[in-house]
Structure 1
Amino acid sequence: MDWVERVEELLYDGESIQERVPVGAGGVVVTSHRLLAFTPDRDGPNFSQVDRPNVDGVEVDTGGEFRFLELSVKAIVVGVALLVAGFTVSLDGMVQGISLESNGAASAVGIGGMLGLLQTMLGLLAQLDDLMRVFGGLALAFGAVVLAVYLRSRERLLVVAVAGGDDIELAAPDDDAVLDRLRAALGSSPERPDAPTDDAVA
């Protein structure tokens, strides 16, 4: 249902159309009283309206899924930190030569099992720097993939800035002259056919 072409059904008494711009599956209509935005191809409501005094402007911007960018930055930071730690800290050198193998005396006092557990933990600690390098590389790879997803999600948007409310976003048209038409319509004075003329005032 193309409400951009049928917008007359939504007008108030005395309201007139200043500009009508189809954009994608919807569009923008500027009237003497309001800006009407039809966005059936985007998330959220299919229709939004803003009183003209609350329209702060119309711009073309580029937007994307910010949560992907945020996740990518976090993964890259973690990956770099793990790689730096893995290459600068040599944990295997710190524990090299330490042996807690239980002997007969240790077994006699009942701590042989505990010493064996500690020796196992030292062995794992010696491999920790290798693990940090592996997981650091995986985190960087994950961050790069998510960054690519974010870049693919970016698109040109026609943004209607709303004072005191959420901005309205539509897919930007290919013709940049549309922006000038909307700005001109929003800057024009409402039609007042019943306004007195200069001759009548005189």
Structure 2
Amino acid sequence: MDWVERAGDLLYDGESIREHVRVGDGGVVVTSHRLLAFTPDRDGPNFRQVDRPNVEGVDRRSAGNADFLEQGVKALVAGVVLVVAGQMVSLDGLVAGVSLDGVGSAGAMGLGGMLGLLQGLLRLLAQLDDIMTLFGGLALALAAVVLGVYLWSREAVLVVSVAGGDDVELSAPEDDTVLERIRAAVRPDGPSSAASEPPVTDDPLA
């Protein structure tokens, strides 16, 4: 069903259409009271309505999947921290002179296994800076991939800024005059319904 053309079915009593434009598979209808946005080609609801006083602006912007951006930034920060820590903190010198191999009474006391475990932990600590650098590099590589996907997902969109609510996004029109028509219709001093296209109404005598 083409709701852009049938927007008159959604009008309140006394409400009239000031402007309607096609945007992608949907469109925008500005009435004397509201802005009606039809977005069947976008995620989320197919229809949004905003009272005209709450419309703060109509602009063209570039937008992408925010989840990719968030995950990419987290991986980037983690990678930088790990690489910097791995390069600045050297544990080799701290544990190089520590050895438990010469503890001769350990076997008699039954602590040989415990001392072997401690010696293994010391060797692990000696390599910890290299491990942090390695995992930091992997995190940076992951960040590069995720941020690349985010940049690839970016697209031009028409954004209706809504005061106190979520903005409405539609596919960006090729012609910027569409934005000007919507802005002019939303403004209180914009063209009246008589000066734009005839209002859509169910009254056959209108």
TM over 0.5: yes
Q: Equivalent residue for 2:136? A: 136
Change (3 A) 1:21 1:104: same
Deviation at 1:191, TM superposition (A): 4.2
Structure holding more helix per residue: 1
Question: Normalising to structure 1: TM-score of the pair?
Answer: 0.86
Change (3 A) 1:166 1:104: closer
TM-superposition CA deviations, 1:26-46 (whole Å, max 9, x none) = 000112222111011112211
Q: Equivalent residue for 1:50? A: 50
The answer to whether the 8 Å contact 2:18/2:31 transfers is yes
Q: Which moved more, 1:174-183 or 1:2-11?
A: 2-11
The answer to whether the 8 Å contact 1:79/1:139 transfers is yes
Q: Give the gaps of 5 or more residues in structure 1.
A: 193-202
Instruction: Give the whole-Å Cα distance in 2 for the aligned partners of 1:40 and 1:20.
Output: 16
Instruction: Give the whole-Å Cα distance in 2 for the aligned partners of 1:184 and 1:140.
Output: 47
Q: Equivalent residue for 1:60? A: 60
Instruction: Give the whole-Å Cα distance in 2 for the aligned partners of 1:11 and 1:106.
Output: 89
Give secondary structure in 2 for the equivalent of 1:133: helix
Change (3 A) 1:105 1:32: closer
Deviation at 1:138, TM superposition (A): 0.2
Change (3 A) 1:76 1:163: closer
Matches within 5 A, 1:100-111: 100-101=100-101, 103-111=103-111
The answer to whether the 8 Å contact 1:50/1:162 transfers is yes
Is 1:92 the equivalent of 2:107? no
Give secondary structure in 2 for the equivalent of 1:36: strand
Q: Which moved more, 1:99-108 or 1:40-49?
A: 99-108
Matches within 5 A, 1:4-153: 4-101=4-101, 103-153=103-153
The answer to whether the 8 Å contact 1:158/1:171 transfers is yes
Instruction: Give the whole-Å Cα distance in 1 for the aligned partners of 2:183 and 2:103.
Output: 87
2:64 counterpart letter in structure 1 = G
Structure number with the bigger relative contact order (C-alpha 8 A, sep ≥ 6) is 2
1:153 counterpart letter in structure 2 = S
CA-based RMSD: 2.0
Q: Give the gaps of 5 or more residues in structure 2.
A: 195-206
Q: Equivalent residue for 1:197? A: none
Q: Which moved more, 1:168-177 or 1:96-105?
A: 96-105
TM-superposition CA deviations, 1:146-165 (whole Å, max 9, x none) = 11111122222211122332
| Same amino acid, percent of matched pairs | 68
Deviation at 1:112, TM superposition (A): 2.0
TM-superposition CA deviations, 1:93-134 (whole Å, max 9, x none) = 321232212554221122222211111111111111111111
Instruction: Give the whole-Å Cα distance in 2 for the aligned partners of 1:54 and 1:130.
Output: 55
The answer to whether the 8 Å contact 1:102/1:112 transfers is no
Q: Give the length in aligned residue pairs.
A: 193
Q: Which moved more, 1:106-115 or 1:124-133?
A: 106-115
